[in-house]
A and B are shown apart, each in its own frame.
Chain A
Amino acid sequence: MSDGKKAESTEAAAKKKFTRRDFLVTGGTVVAVDALLSTTPAGAVTAASAPPPEKVQAYPASKGYLVYDSKKCTGCTTCMLACSLTHYGEQNLSLARIQITQDSFGKFPYDLDIAVCRQCKYPPCVQSCPVQACFVDEANGNVRRIDTDKCIGCKTCLKMCPQQPHRTVWNHKINKSTKCDLCLDTPYWNEKGGIGGKQACVESCPMKAIRFVTEMPNQQETEGYNVNLRNEHWLKLGLVEDSRIQPPGTGGFGGGAPKAKMQAPKANTQAPKAKG
């Protein structure tokens, strides 16, 4: 983390300096973690919306979230590269805390997914971290973050994230877990990030397919984060008529109820402000 941007956790610091070995040897919780994981259906999206079964702990809600429009995304991966650049000063898809997965041969809209950290109401990554490296940053809008100085590299948070792909991201260069911090710690960017600041993925996306919001999205459904960010100008491209997309066996994209014909939001008349 950069000195200027490093935020202090308000969680109680671990009394003991755990090591990865200590945890693997003494951490009986691992068994419970694995047991939970093995009973969680692949692709489940609701685990983080309900209190975990083992213990209930209240966390203050994050004051910021990233939502996205997977139908507006072109798959250029600029967001991923902006993420790794601003956080690490290099461009690397594997280090990006936002992931675009896609198949050029696939059928729209199932050819592409966007995976962003949901800043969960009940964050399994925070709850499961044995050394409180993953924490709720109350000094910075309750963003769910990972303090890599504390992380012991046990990968529990990777396993406990119920999303696929898991939103906690392994940094193989430092052997630590990382995750989206809404750009609180971006030493390679002059902009201020976090709540009230800017996010590299939002700013760089040429399709404006990612947006920062302060209202907590619906935690029950993927749809809560995968939203419609298209307006009448996008419609004029002649690409999408949502009402015509009815995947077999489901009522609509993401398995939810059939969607009504798209309600086009008004054009955003605020031109983006370029830096520098």
Chain B
Amino acid sequence: MPGGYTGKILRVNLTNKQISTLPTEKYLEFGGGHGIGSAVFFDLVGDQLPFEAFDPRNLIIMMASPFSGTFMPGSGRCEVQGLGPMLYPIEWFGHSNFGGRFTAQMKFAGWDGIVVEGASENPVYIDVVNDKVKIEDATNGVWGMDTWDAQQEISRRAVPGLRRGEWAELAQSCYTTQIPAVVTCGPAGERKSRLAALLHGPGSQAALCGFGGVFGSKNLKAISFLGTGSVPIADPKAFMDARLWFRQFQWDVDNPRDAEIFEGSGYSLINGAPSGGNVTNGGPNRVPARAAACASCPRGCKMRLASADSNEAVCAGTMVANVGGGGMFGGFGRKPDPNAMPSALSQKLTRQANDLMHRYGLGHWQVMATRGYIEALVREGVIGKGKQIDFELPPSGSYAYHETMFRTIALREGPLGALAAEGAARMAEKLGRYQKDVSSGLVKLTYYGTQEHYDSATQVEWGYGSILGERDLMLHQMSNYPLHWMAQSGNPYLDAEQASKLYAEAMVPYQDDRYLVDYGEGPTGIYSDSKVKQVAWVKHYEKFWIGAGGFCGWRWPQCITNNSADRRGATPNAEPKFWNAVTGQNKTFADYMELGHKIFTLDRAIWALQGRTRDMEVFPDYIYDQPTRGSIQPMVVDGKWTYATGAGRKLDRAKVEDWKTRFYKFEGYSPATGIATRETLEKMGLKKVADALQKQGKLS
């Protein structure tokens, strides 16, 4: 086996309680993580598609990458795959991922991933300590626990007598000071909510796709890993050299570059400084805290507080609840108003309310959309005392409001809970309002039932990348943080022309195109062939480096950075430097991007087997019909690069469709269907995928 792999994937059938292994070697061509996960899914159940997400045939695939368990910066996220009950109108083969140290312990235990199939008759959890795999009864206290209690209880059961700060003997003379890494669903998942997340630690969520509900449908509460083994490294010296070389791209905590510009909350999410991900702890009432990191991350965007509330939650995980104005302190390019500081109590209650969401196991991003829809329906007179949905919420912005909201949804309480637990899309459908409310933008379910994230009319690679995928793209580090938020800060460290130049140089193999990040409406802008290449680059990067490599979307890609002398980021040099050192392979960045293309193509084939057609890959009407408020990005306007918002712009349907046609052709897909041609599939070594599509009449 090449370095970075343990060589085996754990396979657990919960129906017949059979435990077996899959050889990693069979799937090496897909790299790791998402790539291997897609290939395993196709192999095991591809010929049975379509079926539903809560069908026992659905799989939960959780894959590590060759980087998991290593100190590759900003890697080690766990990729979760399977049919996603959150997604709409079809429960697409989806993916979500979470950070922490789960895949590190998975690798140390000797596994490259785990595939769970079938469904248990009674609630269980899976406990893995090195090569010992047990399916444990969860009825004795674990089932019914919230996500925090469940993780801590399972840790205690996995290693009896384990005390933090002491060595524990896991097997004969195999010791560790680490505690088990557990991922679990909460009460929401046990009730098969489509909003249910998977939680690892207090705040690390696999929030999208509803995989917590899939756990619940399988009567699977949790999976725990703990190990004492090694991750082999092909070229240790090169790997160590690469890690130290990478320091030039990190925030220097003792002597940050251009501290006078980058220190302070205005840049907290984009400068690479520690702790900026938690937006609820700041100002004069801040609670002393640690900047906390996932395994191997040199940034540490999370916090652990002296009050232990909002521990390790970031971004939306700290934003859904806002009690008395205690949320959204700083961050996101804005400096807090010194005359409007939240009270210590409102900040604390905000943190604790968000913690409730985590403890119930609700996925923050779609809970936010669903709550917004509930509020809209209250305004519309659909929800309220004596209304169609007879339910009265406590006053908005109170702790009671959030507590009631989360409990009602997670526990499916009453008529509102029963509806909302299905997620905003199916809630709208059941109320007979989907077409009306989504088309109008009353509820902005822009990408297959997941809510709009960034403006699809200006940050188009996010919008295009999402509708060509299966859910919200969630790839902040492409142009969103580095470009959008840099410009939004009002004090960008690169002008639009400089930034676009550095981006183009990093985006191999399309580095000769100067207009990859032109978000204008001109000939090189959002409908251009340059945008075709940029979106292809984004999807290929997403599938290989983020997906197969387990990279963090808050860290990678890094086309520019404020931390290096010349503002160049680590991309595209770092990725192959690290990958080749770990695995012993000797490929270029472009080679790996082509593998990303292959994985993307495989995913799209699976969606085709589920019923995806070209006409589904569109935005809701409001994106085309309503002028946007805009979103600042680099644009070419009147022949010159500038930062502009594109305010008032509407996407043009015909131009988007024409762009799609060119994108499909560029990728080797049929412009009529968006599905890869047999020629493309066979060229990629995916003949059996072509045969499966042919069998279903999907190849034109």
A-side residues, CB < 8 A to B, are 71-78, 81-82, 84-86, 88-95, 99, 101-109, 111-113, 115, 164-166, 170, 172-173, 175, 188-190, 200, 203-204, 206-208, 231, 233-234, 236-242, 244-245, 267-269, 271-272, 274-276
Q: Contact at A82–B178, with CB atoms within 8 Å?
A: no
Measured CA separation A208–B175 after assembly (Å): 27
User: Which A residues are CB-close (under 8 A) to B165?
Assistant: 101, 113, 115, 164-165
Query: 0/1 per residue, B238-262, Cβ < 8 Å to A?
Result: 0111011101101011111001000
The residue that B178 contacts in the complex, of A93, A108, A203, A207, with Cβ under 8 A, is A93
Q: B666 in the interface, Cβ–Cβ < 8 Å?
A: no
Give the top 7 A-B pairs by smallest Cβ distance, nearest first.
A74-B300, A206-B298, A74-B293, A276-B241, A188-B236, A76-B293, A92-B230
Q: Complex formed: what's the CA distance from A271 to B253 in Å?
A: 11
Interface string of B262-296 (1 = CB under 8 A from A): 01110000000111000000100010111111111
| Residues A104 and B233 in contact in the complex (CB < 8 Å), given A75-B293, A165-B177 | no
Are A109 and B240 neighbours in the complex by a CB distance under 8 Å?
Answer: no
> Which of A76, A91, A115, A236 interacts with B230 by CB under 8 Å?
A91
The docked-state distance in angstroms from the alpha carbon of A52 to that of B88 is: 70
Q: List 10 A-B contacts (CB under 8 A).
A: A90-B236, A94-B175, A108-B288, A109-B288, A115-B177, A190-B237, A200-B240, A233-B256, A269-B255, A274-B245
Residues of B within 8 A of A173 (CB): 230
* Closest B residue by C-beta to A190: B237
Chain A residue nearest to B149 in the complex (CB): A105
* Residues B296 and A71 in contact, CB atoms below 8 Å apart: no
Which B residues touch A207, using CB under 8 A? 253, 274, 291, 300
Report if B631 contacts A (CB, 8 A): no
Q: Is the CB of A90 within 8 A of B254?
A: no
| Interchain nearest-CB distance for B222 vs A (Å) | 15
Counting chain B CB atoms within 10 Å of each CB, which of A72, A207, A267 scores highest?
A207
CB distance from B256 to the nearest CB of A (A): 6
Are the CB atoms of A112 and B202 closer together than 8 Å? no
Q: What is the CA–CA distance of A189 and B238 in the complex, to the nearest angstrom?
A: 9
B244 & A274 in contact (Cβ 8 Å cutoff): yes
Q: How far is the CA of A194 from the CA of B179 in the complex (A)?
A: 31
Q: Name which residue of chain A comes closest to B238, CB basis.
A: A276
Contact A76 B307 (CB under 8 A): no
Name the distance in Å between A82's Cβ and chain B's nearest Cβ: 6
Complex formed: what's the CA distance from A99 to B179 in Å?
12
B680 located at the interface, meaning its Cβ lies under 8 Å from any Cβ of chain A in the complex: no
Q: A272 touches which one: B108, B247, B265, B290 (CB < 8 A)?
A: B247
Select the stretch in B166-174, B444-452, B543-551 that faces chain A: B166-174
Which residues of A are found within 8 Å of B177, using beta-carbon distances? 93, 99, 101, 115, 165
- B residues 158-212 near A (Cβ < 8 Å) are 164-167, 173-179, 201-202
**Known contacts A170-B175, A267-B255, then 12 further A-B pairs from the complex at CB < 8 Å, ordered by chain A residue:** A74-B291, A76-B298, A77-B101, A78-B243, A92-B108, A93-B108, A101-B165, A107-B306, A188-B240, A206-B253, A269-B255, A272-B247
B288 pairs with A78, CB closer than 8 A: no
Specify which chain A residues have a CB less than 8 angstroms from the CB of B237 in the assembled complex.
188-190
Closest to A236 in B: B263
A275 contact from B176, B228, B245, B255, Cβ within 8 A? B245
Shortest CB-to-CB span from A76 to chain B, Å, is: 4
A99, A102, A233, A239 interface centre (most CB from chain B within 10 Å): A239
**Which residues in A have their C-beta under 8 angstroms from that of B622?**
none
Q: Are B304 and A108 in contact (CB under 8 A)?
A: yes
The residue of chain B having its C-beta at the shortest distance from the C-beta of A166 within the complex is: B167
Q: Are A91 and B248 neighbours in the complex by a CB distance under 8 Å? A: no
Q: Check if A172 sits within 8 Å of B175, measured CB to CB.
A: yes
| In contact, B241 and A190 (Cβ under 8 angstroms) | yes
Quote the shortest CB–CB distance from A204 to chain B (angstroms).
Answer: 6
CB distance from B242 to the nearest CB of A (A): 8
Interface SS of chain A: loop
- Cα A241 to Cα B287 in complex, Å, equals 9
Contact of A85 among B164, B173, B239, B299 (CB under 8 A): B239
Q: Which residues of A lie under 8 Å from residue B300 when comparing CB positions? A: 74-76, 206-207
Cβ–Cβ contact B71 & A85, under 8 A: yes
Across-interface contacts of A82 in B (CB, < 8 A): 71, 240, 243
CB-nearest residue of chain A relative to B286?
A238
Taking the complex as formed, is B152 at the interface, i.e. its CB lies under 8 A from any CB of chain A? yes
Interface size class for chain B? Answer: 35 or more
Query: Which of A71, A107, A204 has most B Cβ within 10 Å?
Result: A107
Q: How far is the CA of A104 from the CA of B105 in the complex (A)?
A: 15
Q: Which residues of B contact A113 (CB under 8 A)?
A: 165
A102, A105, A275: most-surrounded residue (chain B CB, <10 A): A105
Q: List B14-38 residues whose CB lies under 8 Å from chain A.
A: none
B298 touches A233 (CB 8 A): no
CB distance from A84 to the nearest CB of B (A): 7
- A93, B290: Cβ atoms under 8 Å? no
Interface residues of B in 298-326 (CB under 8 A from A): 298-300, 303-308, 311-312
Q: Are A208 and B288 in contact (CB under 8 A)?
A: no
B308 touching A105, Cβ below 8 Å: yes
Question: Shortest Cβ distance from B606 into chain A, in angstroms?
Answer: 33
Q: Which residues of chain B have C-beta atoms less than 8 A from A275's C-beta? A: 241, 244-245
Contact of B244 among A94, A244, A276 (CB under 8 A): A276
Q: Say whether B304 contacts A89, CB under 8 Å.
A: no
- Asked if B69 is an interface residue, CB under 8 A from chain A, the answer is yes
Contacts of A166 in B (CB 8 A): 167
Q: Are A102 and B298 in contact (CB under 8 A)?
A: no
A164 to B245, Cβ gap below 8 A?
A: no
B297 close to A (CB within 8 Å): yes
Contact B176 A93 (CB under 8 A): yes
Q: How far is the CA of A77 from the CA of B282 in the complex (A)?
A: 26
A87 to B666: give the CA distance in the assembly, Å.
Answer: 48
- Which of B148, B175, B239, B290 has most chain A Cβ within 10 Å? B290
* A237–B244 CB distance below 8 A: no
- Contact call A75/B236, Cβ cutoff below 8 A: no
B229 close to A (CB within 8 Å):
yes
- The CA of A173 and the CA of B167, in the complex, are separated in Å by 16
| B488 interface residue (CB < 8 Å to A) | no
Min CB distance B558 to A, Å, is 15
| Selected contact of A90 from candidates B73, B232, B265, CB within 8 Å | B232
Contact of A94 among B176, B233, B241 (CB under 8 A): B176
Query: Is B689 part of the binding interface, using a Cβ–Cβ cutoff of 8 Å?
Result: no
Residues of A within 8 A of B516 (CB): none
Identity of the chain B residue whose Cβ is nearest the Cβ of A71 in the assembled complex: B290
| Interface presence of B231 (CB below 8 A) | yes
CB of A104 within 8 A of CB of B311, answer yes
A79 to chain B, nearest CB (A): 9
Which of A188, A237, A267, A274 has the most chain B CB within a 10 Å cutoff? A237
Residues from chain B with a CB closer than 8 A to the CB of A91 are: 69-71, 230-231, 233
